[in-house]
């Protein structure tokens, strides 16, 4: 007969675990009943603590980036101040159509918020010979250019609205024609019955305008004199200049981005 194995010792007494030896376990912790307590593994930080820490670090980095952007200002895309806009604006295409550049006038203003430059130049063709005894006026075309570089604020939201001029009594209807592939946005602005177009351009932080017109100088000639004569040769026709204005504007923008 096979008997069950005998278990030695008192089953009613709790089992004891010998305390580990070594300096790292020199201190033992006893329970309320005098039994030894074995330390468990170290507590781990909860996952949400790590997540919160990551959010705080990301927020700090983003705030630092915004602070640095605010100090650096917007991207000017290479545009710089023009010391003499009449020199920067060659106007090769308009000169070929209307006459050579004469009597340039340029001015510039610089500020922390924006830089401004203007240029007015006459475009004078070779005058045709006039018959003796028939005095007449001197008619010439001119070009006016403005350039504003915004260094603090974005001019984009107000650009379109700034082109709408209040209608004068008797003035023709204002016409805005979108011109593709010139800056960020560009419009050819004119009025019905008026041959004085202007090309208005927004390119990032830069706002540019190129307009043409004509003036009549009578000098010592009295238009009320019965001997005064005028014909079609005394009128500068400014229609059909869109392509020339676009070519000269693109050349000017390239020049201003080199500053």
Dist CA 167 CA 60 (whole Å)? 52
User: What stretches of the chain show up as alpha helix (H) in DSSP?
Assistant: 47-72, 85-88, 92-98, 156-162, 242-256
Residue 6, token pair as written in the block: 């005998």
Residue-range domain boundaries for the chain: 23-72, 85-256
Q: pTM for this one? A: 0.67
Q: What confidence score (pLDDT) does residue 157 get?
A: 95
Dist CA 244 CA 97 (whole Å)? 8
pLDDT in tens, 131-157: 555 556 778 899 999 999 999 999 999
Name the more confident of 232 and 33.
33
């Amino acid at each position: 007969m096979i008997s069950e194995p005998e278990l030695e010792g008192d089953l009613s007494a709790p089992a004891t675990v010998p305390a580990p030896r070594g300096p790292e376990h020199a201190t033992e912790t006893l329970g309320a009943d005098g039994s030894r307590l074995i330390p468990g593994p170290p507590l781990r930080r909860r996952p949400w603590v790590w997540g919160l820490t990551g959010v705080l670090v990301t927020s700090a980095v983003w705030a630092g980036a915004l602070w640095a952007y605010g100090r650096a200002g917007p991207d000017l895309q290479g545009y710089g101040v023009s010391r003499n806009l009449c020199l920067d604006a060659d106007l090769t295409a308009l000169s070929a159509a209307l006459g050579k550049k004469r009597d340039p006038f340029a001015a510039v203003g610089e500020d922390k918020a924006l830089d401004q430059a203007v240029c007015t130049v006459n475009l004078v063709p070779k005058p045709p010979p006039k018959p003796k005894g028939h005095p007449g006026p001197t008619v010439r075309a001119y070009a006016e250019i403005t350039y504003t570089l915004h260094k603090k604020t974005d001019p984009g939201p107000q650009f379109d609205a700034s082109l709408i001029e209040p209608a004068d009594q008797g003035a023709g209807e204002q016409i805005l024609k979108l011109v593709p592939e010139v800056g960020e946005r560009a419009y050819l602005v004119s009025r019905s019955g008026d041959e004085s177009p202007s090309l208005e351009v927004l390119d990032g932080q830069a706002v540019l305008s190129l307009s043409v017109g004509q003036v009549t100088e009578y000098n010592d000639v009295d238009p009320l004199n019965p001997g005064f004569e005028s014909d079609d040769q005394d009128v500068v026709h400014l229609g059909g200049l869109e392509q020339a204005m676009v070519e000269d504007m693109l050349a000017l923008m390239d020049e201003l981005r080199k500053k």
